[in-house]
Structure 1
Amino acid sequence: MKIRVATYNIHKGVSSIRSTPRVLALKKAIGLFDADVVFLQEVQGRHDRFQARYGEKVRVPHHQWPEKAQHEFLAGEALHAAYGMNAVYDHGHHGNALLSCYPIANTRNHDVSDHAYEQRGILHCVLETPVGNVHCYVVHLGLFEGSRRRQTDALINAVKESAEPGEPVIIAGDFNDWRNTLSDCLRVNLGVTEVFDELAPRSRIGQLVRNVAGRDPRLVPARTFPAAMPWFRLDRIYVRGFAVEHAEVLHGPQWARLSDHAPIVANLQLA
C-alpha cells in the first residue's frame, strides 16, 4: 500500500506578520498536498475574537473566518478529522489535528505539558486502512530543550503502550528540535527513521571523510523554518514499517504567505 502524508504547522490560521486570516487559502494549499493523511499543528478549535472580526460579513472575502473549527473546515466533506485541544484561553483554544482519507478508529490526546506557560499534546489516531491499522501521532513539542527531552520520553512511552512492535507507525509534527538532539533517541527506542534519512543529498567529500574516519553518516532532517527562507530544522516525519519513496519541503512565496513554517510531504510504501 502506498500512502502520501504531510505535516504542517499552520500558525493558527493567520499570517505570521499581520495576523490576518489565511484559513480559506490554507484549505486550498492543503488540497495541493494531494495527501492521504495530513498532520497539523497550531490548529484553532475556536477563536471568538477572530470570528467576531472576520465573520461572514468581512469586506475582504479571502480574510473570512469560517464558523466551523479549523480542523472541520479544512477536512470538508472528503476527509475524516480528529482534534486534540492543548492550549485553552478565555476566547478559544488550539491544538493538533489529523486529516485522513481513511476512517479514524479511535483517538487519544496525551497531555505532555511541561510547565504552566506552554500547553503541549500528542494526538494519537488509529487509521483503518485497507491493509490494517496505522498508528499516527501528531506532535508539537515545547520551546525549551529540557521540556522537549521530557516530552520525547512521553512520546516514546505513548507509542510503546499503544502500538504493537510490528504495527506501522507515523510520527509527524513540529519538534522545535533545531539542534537535532532528539532523532537518535527516537530511532533507538522506537525503531523509526526520519523521511530524509535516506533521501537527503550527501556531499562526496563529506562521505569520503566519514568513510576514512570510520564514522556513520550524520543524518539531518530538512530545513523548514522560517518558511520564507528555511534554515532551522524544526518539522519532521518519522516512520516505522514504511519505505520512503520521496520526501520534499514545499517552500517559496506562496507558502511564506500562509505560515511561518514550510510543509513537508512524503510518499511512503508499506514495507
Structure 2
Amino acid sequence: MPTVVTRLPGRASRQRGPLPLPHRTLSNLDVSVGNSEKRGLLYCRIVPPESGIAIHLFCVHLGLRAHQRQAQLTMLADWVNGLPAGEPVVVAGDFNDWRQQANRQLKAQAGLEEIFTRARGRPARTFPVSFPLLRLDRIYVKNAHASQPRALALKQWRHLSDHAPLSVEIHL
C-alpha cells in the first residue's frame, strides 16, 4: 500500500512502503509571479536505501495566466538543470496548460518528457474529474522510464479533487 511522503494543498508525493527520514529532503519552492497569486513547487529528494540513487520529485500547481506559467516553467527548468547530471527526475501536477505549451518548453529547456505524450501522442484528459475534457495535469520524466500511464477518471476520486489523478509506474 502506498504511503504519503508529504502533502501540501493540491499536491502529494507517494511511494510504496516507508522511507526513513535521513533518506529524504523536502522543500517548498516559491514560484509566485507578480502580486496576483501565490504558487509553489513541492520538491522532494529521496534516496531509497536499496539503490542509493537520488530521485528528484517536483509537484506543481502553476498559475492561470500564460505569462505566469512561462515564467514558472523557466524557474522549474532552471532547478532541474541544477540537479546532478544523470539522476532521475519526476515532475507532476496541475500545469493549467490548456494550450499545451509546456511540453515544448520543458523538453527544450530541461530535457523533460511528458509520459502520456510519449505513450499516446498527447497529454491525458483530467479536468473536470466528472467528465474529463481538458489536458491540464501532466507527469514529466528525465533519466527515467515510465510505463502504464493512466488517468483515473473514476467516481471514487471526485471527493479528492476536481481533477482526475494520474498514475504511472516509474522505472529507474
TM tier, shorter chain? 0.7 to 0.9
Is the radius of gyration larger for structure 1 or structure 2?
1
Q: Sequence identity of aligned pairs in percent? A: 37
Q: State the Cα distance separating 1:257 from its structure 2 match.
A: 4.2
* Correspondent of 2:13 among 98, 102, 116: 98
* CA 98–198 in structure 1, closer or farther in 2 if over 3 Å, else same: closer
Write the letter of the residue equivalent to 1:82.
Answer: T
* Correspondent of 2:55 among 111, 123, 134: 134
* CA 80–198 in structure 1, closer or farther in 2 if over 3 Å, else same: closer
Q: State the Cα distance separating 1:111 from its structure 2 match.
A: 0.5
Task: Give CA deviations for 1:79-121 in whole Å, capped at 9, x if unaligned.
Answer: 363356xxxxxxxxx4644344434521221101113331100
Write the letter of the residue equivalent to 2:104.
Answer: D
TM-score relative to the length of structure 2: 0.87
Give the Cα separation in 2 of the matches to 1:194 and 1:120. 21
Write the letter of the residue equivalent to 2:65.
Answer: F
Give the Cα separation in 2 of the matches to 1:83 and 1:258. 13
Greater than 3 Å deviation, 4+ residue runs = 94-97, 99-104
Work out whether residues 246 and 268 of structure 1, in 8 Å CA contact, stay in contact via their aligned partners in 2. no
Structure with more relative contact order (C-alpha pairs < 8 Å, separation 6 or more): 1
Indicate yes or no: 2:109 matched with 1:189.
yes
Write the letter of the residue equivalent to 1:138.
Answer: C
**Counterparts of residues 44-55 of structure 1 (less than 5 Å):** none
The 3-state SS of whatever aligns with 2:123 is coil
**Counterparts of residues 101-250 of structure 1 (less than 5 Å):** 101=17, 102-103=19-20, 104-129=23-48, 130-131=50-51, 132-161=53-82, 163-200=83-120, 219-250=121-152
Indicate yes or no: 2:160 matched with 1:269.
no
Write the letter of the residue equivalent to 1:118.
Answer: E
Q: What is the aligned residue count?
A: 166
Write the letter of the residue equivalent to 1:109.
Answer: N
Work out whether residues 152 and 165 of structure 2, in 8 Å CA contact, stay in contact via their aligned partners in 1. yes
**Counterparts of residues 48-87 of structure 1 (less than 5 Å):** 79=3, 81-83=5-7
The 3-state SS of whatever aligns with 2:47 is strand
Single out whichever of 250-259 and 96-105 deviates more from structure 2: 96-105
Q: Show structure 1 runs of 5+ residues with no match.
A: 1-33, 36-78, 85-93, 201-218
Q: State the Cα distance separating 1:127 from its structure 2 match.
A: 0.7
Give the Cα separation in 2 of the matches to 1:106 and 1:252. 32
Q: Show structure 2 runs of 5+ residues with no match.
A: none
The 3-state SS of whatever aligns with 1:224 is coil
- RMSD of Structure 2 on Structure 1 (CA): 1.9
Write the letter of the residue equivalent to 1:81.
Answer: V
Write the letter of the residue equivalent to 1:107.
Answer: L
Give the Cα separation in 2 of the matches to 1:265 and 1:96. 14
